[in-house]
Chains A and B, each alone.
Chain A
Amino acid sequence: MLDADFFRRWMAATAASVDREAERLTALDSPIGDADHGSNLQRGFTAVRATLEKDAADTPGAILVLAGRQLISTVGGASGPLYGTLLRRTGKALGDAPEVTEEQLAEALRAGVEGVMTLGGAAPGDKTMVDALVPAVDALRDGFAAARTAAEQGAEATTPLQARKGRASYLGERSIGHQDPGATSSALLIAGLAEAAEA
């Protein structure tokens, strides 16, 4: 069973990896975006970390809803609403159970990803965060490590794609040949799950 501590570890692990990878995310965002994805997410997850330290939220659902709200209030850009919606929807789907199973988390995360797809209008293959998240959710039935691998492979597989959503889509064919920064940061979020499970 996954308790509130697991979800706090997940957010902390993601905040730490966003810190570590911020420069890389910003570098990926330079050729096909506006060179700020790393600093924006870093600002958001730093705020999530601070909020969770102060707030006594003690169910998996409450922790994710709180984290999602914080991202919406802090990040801005498209990433704020999209990551915020992902966590809020996932949290809402988990309800107020004190502990959840891995199957319940997988199901809730699927609802979160569907929320992202509805909000942003992106489908798999559009070169967005969806390209890492959808395969990760599909792979969750084989465990967190499998989900991490699937998300990383999904992010890498965005390189040959032409962007159809977000700022990279303005470049048309010139977006081809670059790994999508949003898919890359989504893979960090999924890797955070695996780290929380290993801890």
Chain B
Amino acid sequence: MRMLINVAETVVADALRGMAAAHPGLTVDVENRVIVRRDAPVAGKVALVSGGGSGHEPLHGGFVGPGMLSAACPGEVFTSPVPDQMLRAAAAVDSGAGVLFVVKNYTGDVLNFDMAAEMAEDEGIQVAKVLVNDDVAVTDSLYTAGRRGTGATLFVEKIAGAAADEGQPLERVESIARQVNESSRSFGVALSACTTPAKGSPTFDLPPGELELGIGIHGEPGRERRPMMTSGEIADFAVNAVLEDLGPSNPVLLLVNGMGATPLLELYGFNAEVHRVLAERGVAVARTLVGNYVTSLDMAGASVTLCQIDEELLRLWDAPVDTPGLRWGV
């Protein structure tokens, strides 16, 4: 597998240097692996900190900026960052109004953010946490690590970020973030595995003519393998899986998310099919976002995320945002 890298060991640091060079609105601490919006801390406002393994770009570093995250902590590829990074980020962005940690539900992220929250509180920083767990492909039971955090992370970071930007207090920003997560569900499919720089070969073997249903964003295989389906058939399967769990949901935000290697041409075609299924099911779509936002390195495939919204959430979604990965109204 050919990759546009120097050596596997410096992939994350190299990308951070490149982000620093591209985005003057960000302060990038390459050595300590923290990305902070340049004007932080913003007086009187709650700060949002997220983070996770690298390999999901633009998530999370690409969502740092006014109207979204205050800081992000990138870990090694597909590996949660360490508590030291999160503590450093929290200290850099806290204005005294408190910090909300946005945590995707993976064992590593949860454990490291928990430790960081304890350390931050020891330093007098008020911390709240919201867990994102929107992936319906995983049964939420005692027999799993619980549902994974995937596409809904973008909705949570954008909408809670807008609430923080308006000057809402920590408890309110936290409850909005929780509402967005509870109102969101996702389902993903893979048309190819992905290749981590460290391993250099695909994380699983997917023969031609087959696809994986119910994948996450770490190159892990999904729940089920089937013969290749058309875009329309995949849309039927994915939307039905989401709606089965979300129930009647009007209106919704829709994220048609590419996993990294699927071209926009295909994603837009897929989006048309997703809209067809939603119309058939009587679900009104308030806003649609199509593109590669919560990716899994070079995996081909897509995920569908729906978020049931009210007027308040829609207003916060439409609010201005100015980050490398998401930008409107500015």
Contact surface of A with B, Cβ cutoff 8 Å: 26, 30-36, 39-40, 43, 72-82, 119-120, 162, 164-167, 169-172, 174
Cα-based distance from A120 to B145 in the complex (angstroms): 10
Confirm or deny: B111 has a beta carbon within 8 angstroms of a beta carbon on chain A: yes
Is B145 a contact of A76 with CB atoms below 8 Å? Answer: no
Q: Which 10 A-B pairs have the closest CB atoms?
A: A77-B108, A81-B111, A78-B108, A78-B107, A169-B144, A77-B79, A34-B218, A34-B78, A35-B199, A76-B79
Contact of A167 among B81, B145, B196 (CB under 8 A): B145
Chain A residues positioned under 8 Å from B260 (CB to CB): none
Confirm or deny: B27 has a beta carbon within 8 angstroms of a beta carbon on chain A: no
The chain A residue sitting closest to B107, CB to CB, is: A78
Residue contacts A-B, CB under 8 angstroms, 20 given:
A33-B220, A34-B196, A36-B76, A36-B77, A36-B198, A39-B198, A40-B79, A76-B80, A76-B82, A76-B108, A77-B79, A77-B112, A78-B106, A78-B107, A80-B80, A80-B111, A80-B112, A164-B143, A165-B107, A167-B218
Complex interface residues of chain B between 165 and 210 (CB less than 8 A to chain A): 196, 198-199, 203-204
Is A34 a contact of B220 with CB atoms below 8 Å? Answer: yes
Is A76 a contact of B76 with CB atoms below 8 Å? Answer: yes
Binding site of B, secondary structure by majority: helix, strand, loop or mixed? loop
Q: Give B48 Cβ to nearest chain A Cβ, in Å.
A: 21
Contact surface of B with A, Cβ cutoff 8 Å: 53, 75-84, 106-108, 111-112, 115, 137-139, 142-145, 148, 196, 198-199, 203-204, 216, 218-221, 223
Cα-based distance from A167 to B145 in the complex (angstroms): 7
Is A82 a contact of B198 with CB atoms below 8 Å? Answer: no
Is A36 a contact of B196 with CB atoms below 8 Å? Answer: yes
The chain A residue sitting closest to B215, CB to CB, is: A170
* A76-B79, A77-B112, A165-B145 known, 12 other contacts, Cβ within 8 Å: A30-B199, A32-B220, A36-B78, A36-B198, A43-B76, A77-B75, A78-B106, A78-B108, A80-B80, A162-B143, A166-B145, A170-B144
